[in-house]
Amino acid sequence: MIIQASNLSHNYNGDIALKNINLQIKKGEFICLVGESGSGKTTLLSILSTLLKPTSGKLSFENSNYADIKNIDNFRQKNIGFIFQFHYLINYLNNFENIKLANEKATKEEINTLLELLDIKNLANKFPNEISGGQRQRVAIARALINTPKVLFADEPTGNLDSKNAQIVFELFRKLASEGMTIVVATHNKELAQMADKIYEVKDGQLA
């Protein structure tokens, strides 16, 4: 298992957000966490991706306990990619520079290969505010992939996209998973979630 969660629980100021979550994710699996707003799916995604520490429970990555990781920033850079609903691109950097910022060692060829994969190579020298929302999200995906993460996490990555661009993003996730990358997506879109290998519904802080 690449990720194993045992009895994960999380509270916000005494309010229970997650309760006794048990989850196992294999290498190369494409997983979707679905649920209504406030169900706990984003909290679960944040914990699985190490952005948030659980109140209790155990989380392992390739059989290593997250709690034992000494340098969490270094661990994330080597192992984890994250895509947010909002792209968080830097407007005064062009798209190529935004991707390069995530990995200074990345070569021009590596970045161009990603841009080509996402069908945005012609936008490399444009700035985020000069392109559409769907194109910005694809730049953000390239930025998340430039370190070749073992696990790619995405929180409502298609929330601001039209149906065509949303479909393109999920088809890319399927392709990446088929090539061995583990993909974990939180989404309220149950139709798109059907493209995943497994769907887990989060309801009232528990896996339904």
33-66 residue pLDDT tens: 998 888 888 899 999 998 888 889 999 988 888 8
Among 138, 97, 101, 131, smallest CA distance to 116 is for 138
In the prediction, which pLDDT does 158 show? 84
In the prediction, which pLDDT does 27 show? 94
Burial group, residue 73, by CB count within 10 angstroms (0-12, 13-18, 19+): exposed
For residue 104, give the amino acid letter: E
Mean pLDDT (the chain) is 89
Question: What sign does the CA torsion over 169, 173, 174, 175 have?
Answer: positive
* Per-residue burial over 74-88, b = 16 or more CB atoms within 10 Å of its CB, e = otherwise: eebeebbbbbebebe
| Domains present along the chain, CATH in parentheses | 28-52+71-207 (3.40.50.300)
In the prediction, which pLDDT does 192 show? 93
Please answer whether residues 37 and 191 qualify as being in contact, where contact means their C-beta atoms are separated by less than 8 angstroms.
no
In the prediction, which pLDDT does 67 show? 80
Q: How confident is the model at residue 74 (pLDDT cuts 50, 70, 90)?
A: confident
Dig out the tokens for 14 from the structure: 């005494």
In the prediction, which pLDDT does 207 show? 87
Residue 142 scores a pLDDT above 80: yes
Residue 107 and residue 111: Cα distance in Å, rounded? 6
Contacts of 75 (CB under 8 A, 6+ apart): 50, 69
Please answer whether residues 150 and 181 qualify as being in contact, where contact means their C-beta atoms are separated by less than 8 angstroms.
yes
Give the range among 70-74, 149-153, 179-183 with minimum mean pLDDT.
Answer: 70-74
What is the C-alpha R_g of the chain? 17
3-state class of 168 per DSSP? Answer: helix
Among 180, 186, 157, smallest CA distance to 29 is for 180
Dig out the tokens for 49 from the structure: 């991706």
Residue 195 scores a pLDDT above 90: yes
* pTM of structure: 0.89
Residue 73 and residue 58: Cα distance in Å, rounded? 19
Residue 96 and residue 115: Cα distance in Å, rounded? 9
Per-residue pLDDT, averaged over 104-125, amounts to 89
Q: How confident is the model at residue 198 (pLDDT cuts 50, 70, 90)?
A: very high
157-174 residue pLDDT tens: 887 778 887 888 899 899
Q: How confident is the model at residue 185 (pLDDT cuts 50, 70, 90)?
A: very high
